[in-house]
Structure 1
Amino acid sequence: MKVSTSQFFKQAVDIIGQQHSDVAKQQARLGSGKQLVKPSDDASKAALIQRLKSGLTAQESYGAGLVRLTDRLSLEESAITSTENILLNIKDLALRAASQSMGPESRKIMAVEIGFLRDELMALANTRDFNGNYIFAGSMVSDAPYSQDTDGSIIYQGDDTVIEIMVSDQRKLELNSPGESVFRSLIRNGNDGLYSGDLTPGNEATLLTFPDSHKDFALRLAEFKAHLGKANAQARVEIEVETSGIDFSDTNQININGIDITGAPYTTTNDLITAINAQKDVTGAEAELSSTGTIIIKNIVGKEGNIITISDSDDVGVNPLALTNGSYSASQEDLAAQAQAQLNYDNYYSDLRSSGYSDEIDWDTFQGISNQAYDLSYSNDYLPGAPEAKRIGFFDVIGDLIESLELSDTNRIDRGIDEMDSLIQSTALQIADIGSRMNIADAQINIMDETVIRFKNLISSAEDLDYSTAVTELSSEMLALEAAQSSFARISQLSLFDYIR
């Protein structure tokens, strides 16, 4: 093999150049403190480092959101705790005002004091955060959520939007509490759940002669019976039949709940209805012509909720009604409501019968009132559940209490005290909810801190340079470079003529 001088010099220059490059790389790594000076040094490791840094950025973003969340919840907790304390003060004033020893003028003074406390509550409801946003306004953070109307009532002008923030890859937490979830309204039941539908003149006159306790018993029993009437009406099975599909020439008879309806072929719609109703006591189903001209087959009174099975007497799968042979039933939800309503009525009736009042009660009148309540509710002429019940806003409750104190109306003051208990309870539950969210946020922050440390350790392991190892490698590379240079200097001076001499 021949080695020319030019080839020898080229190989030597390449080796020395490579050594220079290796030394330069080591020096660059030492200068930057990183294992990789540029991604091309190790593409797979560079990709790993980038993924780790992206994960770290996401965790730090979640951490910033958690800090924001805890600051916001702390502000809400402070405002709602102050609200609870003011409500307790209002209740204390109302309890004092309810005392028989308190005169009208003293109650008016307390009404003024409660008015000032209501203004403080409104200020708390319009609390702002550090950025000037209203914290109880839902998403409408630029405008005060509560304002006073022209008639003096305080109205809510925010919305019910709940803002959620991501606190991990898989978890969200609520950032805010809309005003109506904090300063909650309540249901005021005007007649305490007693029956309040129409009564016949006879029942009304008899009821007026009852002692108050007996009157309450009668109306409560009637209300349970009204609920039963409504439940039975809803559980009633009704099958609608289009008259255009009826085959009046078919001698095949209809079979309802295993009973053949005789008379086929049925000449007219009325003949068919008459034939079905002739067997209703046996089948438990009756028929009627609706206002739209269709035939309605339904449970008879007292059989509501029972299954109605339609077939044909010849069992050929086709019946004169053009209905699919099979069973028709109420929904499970309606049947469950029916069973519960029956149980509620039976339990209350049984309790009355076994009470010490049983011998004093005019049971005929009680049953008359109950049956009337049932019939009205069954026909949808009465809606059970205290029709006077209505929703009262948080600040309206306090406003009504102020008015009752100004009028020295002790009955309304007592009602106001009960309603203040409801508001206090609602506020306490909201504080507990915020406390729960704060605990979750604190736990998530601890998890986040540990996760961030793990990410930083992984990044450091993949990216940061081990200086002691790098210095050793640099020394080795420089020694190799010097050796290559020295060797080349010596060998390049050699000549064949030196051996000829």
Structure 2
Amino acid sequence: MKISTQQFFDRAVSQMSDRQISLSTIQAQLAEGKKIVKPSDEPDRAGAILRIKSMVDRQDRHQEALVAAKNRLQSEEAVLKNSTNLITRIKELALTASNDSYDASNREVLAIEIDGMAEQLLSLANGRDTQNNYLFAGAKVREQPFQKNADGRIIYVGDETRFRIAVGDHRDLNLNRSGTDVFGPLARQTGDPEAPVMSAVSLFESLQDLSTAIRAGKHDEMNRGIGELDQMMHRLTFNISEVGTDLHVASMQTEVVEETQLQLKSVLSNIEDLDYAEAVTRMQKQMMSLEAAQRSFAQISRLTLFDYVN
């Protein structure tokens, strides 16, 4: 068998090169804190990492959507509850005003308070969320939904759009109620009680009529206004219940998203993150192996071919 000195040199150089590459890879892993420095090193693992990161990003977007949805729903809930308190107080005043013992001056005081609360209700109906969007405007979130027209009547200029937002891979959530849903027309009965005529009247017109009736001491119209307040209270109660349900769904979905995020990030960490202790141990072994190869090469380089041939 013929043995060339060049073969020994080539083999030694190749071994040192392999060890140096391995050492450099480990050092790069330690610097990055990742198992993969270049995707080409482990294409399958790199592909899995990209897929999981995409899933994590999607859950992050769901979480952001949930935060925004909860903020808006909480704003709606606050408006609805405050409106309920106002309607309750207005009804109390209307019942008080219907007492025959109250004279015109007493009724005027009650009517003035009702007028003030009607203005508060208008302000609530034009409430905004944390993003400065009108809560009850439908899709026209930048336009005040309840406005006074040329006749001084308050009209709704929003639309009936209802939004749903994706808060999970297979879960949507109600995001809003229109102005009509909450502060829309009330049913008014007029004419002969035996053959009543039904018509629609806005909440704010109803409150104005109630105030006028109290000032005039017209008990029939006061009673009609109290009935319309009951309609409004029923509508507010329904909407509060609906918003409460949506908030409950949002809270439950938040827990689902957070748990999914934890699981995905745990899987990602197992695939991607470097075990520093294990990597340092490998680096030390590679350094020792490289040093041994270098010493061996140094010895080989000082020998001749005849030193290897028996």
Q: So what's the TM-score if we normalise by structure 1?
A: 0.59
Q: In the alignment, what sits opposite 1:157? A: 157
The answer to whether the aligner puts 1:97 opposite 2:77 as a matched pair is no
Using the alignment, how far apart are the partners of 2:11 and 2:308 within structure 1? 24
In structure 2, the gaps of 5 or more residues are: none
Q: In the alignment, what sits opposite 1:460? A: 269
The answer to whether the aligner puts 1:422 opposite 2:231 as a matched pair is yes
Using the alignment, how far apart are the partners of 1:110 and 1:116 within structure 2? 10
Using the alignment, how far apart are the partners of 1:468 and 1:431 within structure 2? 56
Q: In the alignment, what sits opposite 2:251? A: 442
Q: In the alignment, what sits opposite 2:138? A: 138
Q: In the alignment, what sits opposite 2:9? A: 9
Q: Deviations over 1:274-325 (max 9, x none)?
A: xxxxxxxxxxxxxxxxxxxxxxxxxxxxxxxxxxxxxxxxxxxxxxxxxxxx
Question: Going by fraction, where is helix more abundant, 1 or 2?
Answer: 2
Distance change (3 Å), C-alpha of 1:111 and 1:491: same
Of structures 1 and 2, the one scoring higher in RCO (CA 8 A, sep 6+) is 2
Name the amino acid aligned to 1:30: L
Using the alignment, how far apart are the partners of 2:139 and 2:172 within structure 1? 17
Cα RMSD after superposing both structures:
2.0
Using the alignment, how far apart are the partners of 2:245 and 2:14 within structure 1? 70
Using the alignment, how far apart are the partners of 1:454 and 1:55 within structure 2? 11
Q: CA deviation at 1:86?
A: 0.7
SS of 2:165's equivalent in the other structure is strand
Q: CA deviation at 1:407?
A: 2.9
Q: In the alignment, what sits opposite 2:128? A: 128
Using the alignment, how far apart are the partners of 1:150 and 1:492 within structure 2? 103
Q: Kindly report which structure 2 residues correspond to 1:74-85, keeping only aligned pairs within 5 A, or say none.
A: 74-85=74-85
In the alignment, which of 194, 199, 202 is matched to residue 390 of structure 1?
199
The alignment covers a number of residue pairs equal to 309
Q: In the alignment, what sits opposite 1:181? A: 181
CA contact (8 A) 1:184 1:393 kept: yes
Task: Report sequence identity in percent.
Answer: 38
CA contact (8 A) 1:153 1:399 kept: no
CA contact (8 A) 2:72 2:130 kept: no
Task: Choose 1 or 2 for highest CA Rg.
Answer: 1
The answer to whether the aligner puts 1:18 opposite 2:7 as a matched pair is no
Distance change (3 Å), C-alpha of 1:499 and 1:18: closer
CA contact (8 A) 1:184 1:426 kept: no
CA contact (8 A) 1:97 1:107 kept: yes
After superposing on structure 2, the runs of 4+ consecutive aligned residues of structure 1 that deviate more than 4 Å are: 191-194, 496-500
Q: CA deviation at 1:470?
A: 1.0
Using the alignment, how far apart are the partners of 1:410 and 1:191 within structure 2? 15
SS of 2:168's equivalent in the other structure is coil
Q: Kindly report which structure 2 residues correspond to 1:469-488, keeping only aligned pairs within 5 A, or say none.
A: 469-488=278-297
CA contact (8 A) 1:140 1:158 kept: yes
Distance change (3 Å), C-alpha of 1:2 and 1:128: same
SS of 2:190's equivalent in the other structure is coil
The answer to whether the aligner puts 1:51 opposite 2:51 as a matched pair is yes
In structure 1, the gaps of 5 or more residues are: 197-385
Q: In the alignment, what sits opposite 1:275? A: none
